[in-house]
Structure 1
């Protein structure tokens, strides 16, 4: 076995058997910001055989304070986080397989990748996507691990179909979702604590050593506080995800425009707005644009717009969904 894992092999809870299991596993990571970029690096270094990475955003200078996988060059290029993560991770461990999706994680995508996964890690910053992950994981009988952090606080919990309640069951007791990194700030150590809990649990699950009791972990690095709560008996008897198996988030019609959590940015999706259509329209309107290998960037009045080839646009300095739709109609009819 590869000598690079020698220190992990010496750890009695992993050893050769555990390392072999890690090399056979596939992990999906949804979101490659502070949480997902760090967890992807930890799992790549640990020797997990295959990583499937999903992220819709790109690297900006404000990310670098806590998203340790990226650098100033990535921010200057506005490189998609999924692409930047791939380029860094293959240099860290070239022996593992890495699949990248520069895309919004919708029901179709999460179900498609979940079918090949042994585990899903939450690297997101919003409640809706976590609910979507939860439904996909329980529908396809795949464990997933929630993690979150804001200011100096962090939380994490694993949800295992058949053994634990699901995320929907716990939503009344989860930390408040009204604060985000973009509105309240965050310090790096809180990220590392959240991910350390998340990845440690991942290693237990992937090496088939995750057993009851099952806990929700909550802490605050600034105050040096830490608590854990047993969640084993918190299943809601009428839960549409883990009890009646309706999976409402997978069947919900998704809006074509949505606001990024805590940010003045709107995502707009229309499959008709392909790269050739956007370029042709901008040329006819005499609007200057910049091309990268991943997207087209241009300004329309006070709005900076990043347009991906699959019809997905990110609109900066836009707070209102109707305003975003108006801009699209004005530009593309």
Structure 2
């Protein structure tokens, strides 16, 4: 077995058999922010055979404080997070297959990615996507590990289809509002704590050490030194629409919002009604007389005196400087439709 994993192989919970299992497994990481970069790096360094990373955003300066795979150059070039993460991870371990997808996760993406996956890592920042993950995980019987951070607070829970309560059991629907990293801030140590909980569970699942899994929901505040561990087994809902014996997977079947206000970021995302690959060079030429245009291989940035907009190849546009969906749609149709 490769010398690079020798210390991991010495650990009795993994050993040579467990290391071979890791090399034959595929993990889907949804989100390439703080939790996504931390989770991905540990799994890649551990020798998981294939990692698929899906993220819709690009690297900004505010990310560098806690999102460990990115550099100042990534922020300067506004590189898509999935691409920057892939490049850095491939440099860490060339033996791991790493796929990167610049995409907004909708039911379509989850139906595409989930069936060929051994484990899903939640590294998202909103419950709309988490509920889609939850339904897809239940439909295709894929374990997934929920993780969330804000300020100095973190939470993690491992969800096993047909066994544990699912996220819909625990929440009984979609939460509304709440503090986010963009409104309440976040400190880096809480990221590392949640990543540690998530990846420890991931290694247990991927090496099939099922009896060692933590069957509790963990939450803590690393600043105020609070910590709790709660058994939520009794919250499994017999009529849950996502995980009962007759599920309807409600979050896979509902149509997704085409206009989304990104909480706390003074930004609105516009997603076109149908997927299409846009020619960024042609669009850049068209916009060059209307404002300042900067472009790389994955996205273009367009600035006017009042607004800044980012367009990705899949047609998505981030309208910065407003949280008014009507205004954002107007700007989208004015310049990109």
Match of residue 329, structure 2, among 307, 325, 328: 325
Write the distance in 2 (CA, Å) between the matches of 1:126 and 1:254.
Answer: 14
| Aligned position for 1:254 | 256
Write the distance in 1 (CA, Å) between the matches of 2:172 and 2:108.
Answer: 27
Write the distance in 1 (CA, Å) between the matches of 2:108 and 2:175.
Answer: 28
Give the drift of 1:274: 2.0
Contact 1:74–1:84 (CA<8 Å) still a contact in 2?
yes
Contact 1:275–1:308 (CA<8 Å) still a contact in 2?
no
Contact 1:44–1:96 (CA<8 Å) still a contact in 2?
yes
Contact 2:317–2:332 (CA<8 Å) still a contact in 1?
no
| Aligned position for 2:284 | 279
Give the drift of 1:61: 0.9
The root-mean-square deviation of aligned C-alpha atoms, in Å, is 1.9
Give the drift of 1:309: 1.5
**Structure 1's 37 and 179: CA in aligned 2 closer, same or farther, altered over 3 A?**
same
Give the drift of 1:12: 0.4
Partner SS for 1:314: strand
Write the distance in 2 (CA, Å) between the matches of 1:261 and 1:11.
Answer: 42
| Aligned position for 2:94 | 94
**How far does the alpha carbon of each residue in 1:67-103 deviate from its partner, in whole angstroms, 9 at most, with x for none?**
1111111111111100010010011100010011011
Write the distance in 2 (CA, Å) between the matches of 1:112 and 1:241.
Answer: 18
**Structure 1's 59 and 295: CA in aligned 2 closer, same or farther, altered over 3 A?**
same
Partner SS for 1:233: helix
User: What does 1:1-333 align with in structure 2 at a 5 Å threshold?
Assistant: 1-171=1-171, 178-211=178-211, 214-243=215-244, 244-270=246-272, 271=275, 274-275=278-279, 278-279=283-284, 281-283=286-288, 286-332=290-336
Contact 1:120–1:145 (CA<8 Å) still a contact in 2?
yes
Structure 2: unaligned runs, 5 residues or longer? none
Aligned length: 332
Structure 1: unaligned runs, 5 residues or longer? none
Contact 2:27–2:118 (CA<8 Å) still a contact in 1?
yes
**Structure 1's 186 and 131: CA in aligned 2 closer, same or farther, altered over 3 A?**
same
Write the distance in 2 (CA, Å) between the matches of 1:174 and 1:127.
Answer: 7
